[in-house]
Structure 1
Amino acid sequence: MKLKKYILSASVIVAVIAIVAVRLISNKQSFDKELKMVSESNTTVPVITDTVRSEQLPAGFSVNGGFSPIQETSIAAEVEGKITSVNSKEGDRVAAGQVLASIDNEIPASQLELAKFNLDKAEKDIKRFKELSQGDAATVQQYEAARQSFEMAKSAYTAAKTEDKNTFIEAPFGGIITKRYFDKGAYLSVGTPVYDIVEIDRVKFIARLTVDEAGKVQKGQTVKLSVDAYPEVTYDGKISAVTVKADLSKRYDVEIEVENRSEDIIKPGMYGVATFIRNTENQLLVIPRQAIAGSIKHPEVFLVKGNSVILRKIVITPFNDKYVVIKSGLKAGDVIVTSGQISLVNGSKIKLNN
């Protein structure tokens, strides 16, 4: 009885071992099949390729921006008094030095007249004492006193002349009156705003360039400009300034000065487009940016060799947002992968899907 029990137990154990063995063999076959499928899939990665070639790319790039005045200022009263005449109003175009308004100058004019009289007298006195001192008819001290009086009279005349001139409010430069703060008869104190004026003969276009774009422009360079308000008109501009420090968005401000026209006047606040022209007469060896497998700082590409690829380090110079210029690492005629790099490693098998 005991023997039968041992035989039964052994049979059960053998059966279990057999079942486990069959299951393991089945699992191994399934795993091998899946591994083979993955291996076959990895050996042929579908990619899109392009050929490295020399091209003459569009010589320039365009940037949106807005127009601002070259200069604008608020004119303030430099003397106190009552406004006696008003010659300009908002919207008037004025020339540099043009009298915009006048302040009562009765007292400054009389002070100027007195200062002129004293200056003339002092000038005569110094000449007379100079002649007398040469003939020993006057002392050196008398001559020096006369010379001192002359200098004081000259200083007083200059101050009176400036005071009288400041009763006439003049335009500091040619432009458009954008604001008038007073009416005739108003009393002004020193420092009271009287006019706002903005130059209109010239305006400046502010373009904000990326690091790559800023490296391609320089002061004095010619720029073509278009204005949204006048889509059929083209203006010539010249770069007047390029900032050397980027803002928080890593962009550089470039100022482009534009001479305005008598018609189709560009007004501050308008928007437009600046096209930066570049001289690129020579052919450039270029590839699309999308072909770069690494970063722009450490660029690599997958070079096609037969039905596989080689990871190749290259040296480039950014050209624009679509292309980079090859400095070394590739030659014309090389075939590179432009799409599908994410699934590739050095030596991967590929299948063209162009």
Structure 2
Amino acid sequence: MYQTSIKRYYKKALFVGVFVLLAVAVMSKLKSNRDVVQNEINQELKPIAYTAQATLVKEMFFTDATTYRGTVEAGKIITLTSETDGKIVYSAIEKGNDVTKGSVLVKVDPLTRSSAYQISQDTYNKAKRDYAKLQELQSSGNASGMEVEQAKLQMQNAGSQLNISKKQVGQTLVTAPESGTLIDKKINQGEYVTPGTTLGTIACLNEVLVDVFVQENEVAHLKKGNTVIVRADAYPNSTFSGKVSAIVPVASAAKTFPVEIRIVNNKSQRLLAGMNVSVIMGQEKRTAALVIPRNALTGNNKQAAVYLVHQCRQAVFTPIVLGKEYDTYLGVSRGLKAGDTVMTSGLLNVEPGKQLQRLTIKN
């Protein structure tokens, strides 16, 4: 009986011991799993290093004048047309040739018109003689006033017809209405033309035009007749003087105002239609400004800011006060100093605590 009780006791003790060991093992495994999960969470929450590009805040020199881009246009474009019909017996219209005002460019066969003119001349001469003769007869009482008036009317009608015939003869010659350069040719010698036929085109380049679109804050200071400086891309070392010839008072969809610049084209370096130019308005006075590139700017409409890179390789959101704009640069009046490093790319990756793994600085 006693031995049986001891056996039962040992069995219970063994069972309890195994149970305790299993419980300890399970709890140890659960703790280990919890530590692994927590470690993974910590790794997820840990800021990840990133790469970015930056530039140095620097002082640059700019001109106070505002520059606008434009394209040279001919001062006048003249289309030559025929005023009569007939066969072309002479043509001096060739692309690229320079012509002077009054020079003959096209001759239409004048035979028919010349014959009609000669007949009209003879008719007028006869009517003039008849009128003079009747005036003499009237003075001697041998012709009535009615006969004299009728002869006068016939002479006037003949004179009108003579003028028409003379004009028609003149229409067989096509002359250059202005000096310029032939830029288009539509006919050849031997072809037949009718009234209204296009013969060619002259571009007048003694004066050229440039149209630019000026911002509203600048156009308020412009006046017709103001002098501007023009620089052509083709002649980087030369300047041309232009004048404001027209200011259109209606803004475009982009809220800019069309302004026409007229330039006397009398230099050896001739401006040609289609050349790209810069029009400089205002005085070219050089001023220094602390600037950043436009792509460094962040923030919102109320507060401009940049990400300033500290020596600990962390980017810090830094409010700034902007100054004047200079094309691709923005002036900074407060918040930065020369030599500061500001980010220009990777701005969307910036988070508190994140460090820059690789930073490329470009000047």
Determine helix, strand or coil for the equivalent of 1:24.
helix
1:70 aligns with 2:75: yes
Among 16, 22, 35, the residue aligned to 2:26: 16
Instruction: Give the whole-Å Cα distance in 2 for the aligned partners of 1:316 and 1:116.
Output: 82
Contact 1:284–1:325 (CA<8 Å) still a contact in 2? no
Change in Cα spacing, 1:242 to 1:160, as seen in structure 2 (3 Å) is: same
Q: CA deviation at 1:279?
A: 2.7
Could you say which residue in structure 2 is the equivalent of 1:339? 343
Give runs of aligned pairs for residues 1-354 of structure 1, distance below 5 A: 3=12, 4-5=14-15, 7-25=17-35, 28=38, 34=43, 38=47, 50=57, 56-60=61-65, 67-83=72-88, 86=90, 88-90=92-94, 91-103=96-108, 104=110, 105-107=113-115, 109-110=117-118, 113=121, 162-178=167-183, 179=185, 181-183=187-189, 187-205=192-210, 220-226=226-232, 228=234, 233-238=238-243, 240=245, 244-245=251-252, 256-261=261-266, 263-268=268-273, 271-274=275-278, 276-279=280-283, 281=285, 286-288=290-292, 289-294=294-299, 300-302=304-306, 309=316, 311-312=318-319, 314=321, 317-321=324-328, 323-325=329-331, 330=334, 338-339=342-343, 342=348, 344=350
How far is 1:17 from its partner? Answer: 0.7
Q: Is the 2:210–2:261 contact (alpha carbons within 8 Å) kept by the matching residues of 1?
A: yes
User: Given that residues 322 and 330 in structure 2 are in contact (C-alpha distance below 8 angstroms), is that contact kept between their aligned partners in structure 1?
Assistant: no
Partner deviation per Cα, 1:211-245 (whole Å, 9 max, x = no partner): 799979967551322353x5655433445567843
Per-residue CA distance 1:179-202 (angstroms, 9 max, x = gap): 37232x654322233343222323
Rounded Cα–Cα distance in structure 2 between residues aligned with 1:265 and 1:275: 16
> Counterparts of 1:76 and 1:237 in 2: how far apart (Å)?
32
Change (3 A) 1:314 1:72: same
Q: TM-score, normalised by structure 2?
A: 0.59
Task: Kindly provide the CA deviation profile for residues 257-282 of structure 1, in whole angstroms up to 9, marking residues without a partner as x.
Answer: 4333374444445x444252543648
Report the alpha carbon displacement of residue 291 of structure 1 after superposing the two structures with TM.
Answer: 3.6
Measured on the aligned residues, the alpha-carbon RMSD in Å equals 5.7
Give unpaired runs (5+ residues) of structure 1: 125-137
2: CA distance, partners of 1:120 / 1:338 = 96
Q: Would you say the 8 A contact 1:61–1:276 is kept in 2?
A: yes
Q: Aligned pair in 2 of structure 1 residues 118, 300: CA closer, same or farther (>3 Å)?
A: farther
Q: Aligned equivalents of 2:53 and 2:97: distance in 1?
A: 69
Distance (Å, rounded) in 1 between the aligned partners of 2:169 and 2:247: 42
Q: Taking structure 1 as reference, are residues 109 and 59 closer, same or farther at Cα in structure 2, changes over 3 Å only?
A: farther
When the two structures are aligned, how many residues end up with a matched partner? 318
What secondary structure, in the 3-state scheme, does the structure 1 residue paired with 2:205 have?
coil
- Answer whether contact 2:319 2:335 (CA < 8 A) is retained: no
Cα distance between partner residues in 2 of 1:214 and 1:171: 40
Other structure's SS at 2:334 match:
coil
Return closer, same or farther for 1:177/1:49 CA change in 2, 3 Å cut-off: closer
Q: Contact 1:203–1:260 (CA<8 Å) still a contact in 2?
A: yes
How many Å apart are 1:339 and its aligned residue?
Answer: 1.7
Larger radius of gyration: 2
Deviations 1:84-138 (A, max 9, x none): 6x473425433333333344131553476489779989x99xxxxxxxxxxxxx9
Aligned amino acid, residue 23 of structure 2 = I
Distance 2:32 2:327 in 1: 63
- SS of 1:199's partner is strand
- Deviation for aligned residue 1:69: 2.7
